[in-house]
């Protein structure tokens, strides 16, 4: 699959360009079912839903959702919709709010 990139805000694009991602072979094996799910959805032009869960749904899941959606859009991966959730109902952490503005 050829990757074409979407223009995003320059600071976000710079952050993406400077990402250094090192995934161990063991971790790649664990992630393979997720990779297959996404690739099959893309290949079949299906809706791809990703839900990021953390205990309180106040920080990690929100940031994971935002970055996953941003990267999917940036790399033009179609039909991906990202969500966040938690096992306990709490408010979004103010630091996340401040990071996003």
- Is-above-0.75 flag for pTM? yes
> Among 1, 5, 3, which residue's Cα sits nearest to residue 70?
5
Residue spans of the domains in the chain: they are 25-100
Domain range 25-100, its CATH number among 3.40.50.720, 3.40.50.2300, 3.90.1170.40, 3.20.20.140: 3.40.50.2300
Q: Which two tokens stand for residue 5?
A: 């990139």
SS3 16: helix
User: What is the per-residue pLDDT across 12-52, written as a single tens digit (0 to 9) for each?
Assistant: 888 888 999 899 999 999 999 999 999 999 999 999 999 99
HSE of 58, CA atoms in CB hemisphere, 13 A: 10
Cα torsion 100, 56, 27, 38 to 10°: value is: -70
54, pLDDT greater than 80 = yes
């Amino acid at each position: 699959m050829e990757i074409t990139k979407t223009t995003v805000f320059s600071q976000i694009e710079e952050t993406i360009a400077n990402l250094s991602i090192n995934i161990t072979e063991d971790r790649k094996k664990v992630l393979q079912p997720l990779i297959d799910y996404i690739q099959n959805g893309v290949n079949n032009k299906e809706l791809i839903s990703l839900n990021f869960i953390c205990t309180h749904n106040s920080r990690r899941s929100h940031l994971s959702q935002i970055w996953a959606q941003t990267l999917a859009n940036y790399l033009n991966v179609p039909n991906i919709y990202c969500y966040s959730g938690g096992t306990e109902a709490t408010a979004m952490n103010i630091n996340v709010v401040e990071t996003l503005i």
